[in-house]
Amino acid sequence: MIEDVNDVLDYASDTEWARFLPVASPYTVRDAEEFVTRQILKNWDDRPRFAIEFDGVVVGSVKLTIEKALSIASLRYSIARPCWNRGLMTEAVTAVVGWGFEELGLLKVCSRMDVENVGSWRVMEKIGMTREGTLRSQGVNSGLPQECHVYGVSRSEWKAPNG
C-alpha cells in the first residue's frame, strides 16, 4: 500500500541489505514510491507479492513469478537487516511456497541467489529446497559478474518445516 513507502525506504536505504539486490544506491524516496506503486499495479495472477510486516512495520517481501504454462514459480524475497537471523524470512517463505503448491497447484518452486549470499541459501535449505546447481556469470550486480546458486523443490518433495 502507498503508506508503506517510508517503511520500504527505511530498509532499502541500508547498503548491506542492498548488497545482493539490483536496487538504486543511494535509495531515494522516489525509488521507494516507484517500487511500492509497481507492486500495487502488478498482475497478481502472474506475480503475487506479499509484504512482510513485523510490529506494524513493513520489513520486506516475498514474491513468486509464475510461469503458468509450466506450473513453475520463481521465488524472490528480502527482509530488513534488523530482522535477519530471527526466523522471520524462513517463516514467510515457507508460507508463500506452501500457498503456491496448495492454492495455485504449482509443480515446482525454484530460486536463485548470489553464491556469497549465505543467509539466503540457508533459508532455501531450511525450507527443504535442494541446490540444483551453480550458474557462472549469470548476471551482473554492482558492475561485477554474478554467480548464482539455484535451488528448487517440487510439490511431491514439499514438506513444510515445523517452524
pLDDT per residue over 70-118, tens digit each? Answer: 999 999 999 999 999 999 999 999 999 999 999 999 999 999 999 999 9
CA distances from 151 to 12, 87, 161 (A): 25, 19, 16
pLDDT per residue over 122-157, tens digit each? Answer: 999 999 999 999 998 877 766 677 899 999 999 999
Determine the Cα–Cα distance for residues 1 and 62; give it in Å rounded to an integer. 15
Confirm if 161 and 127 have CB atoms less than 8 A apart: yes
Confidence (pLDDT) at 163: 46
40 secondary structure, DSSP code: H
Answer yes or no: is pLDDT of 162 > 70: no
Answer yes or no: is pLDDT of 21 > 90: no
130-141/108-114 β-pairing: unpaired
Beta bridge partners of 152: 110, 130
Q: What is the pTM of this model?
A: 0.90
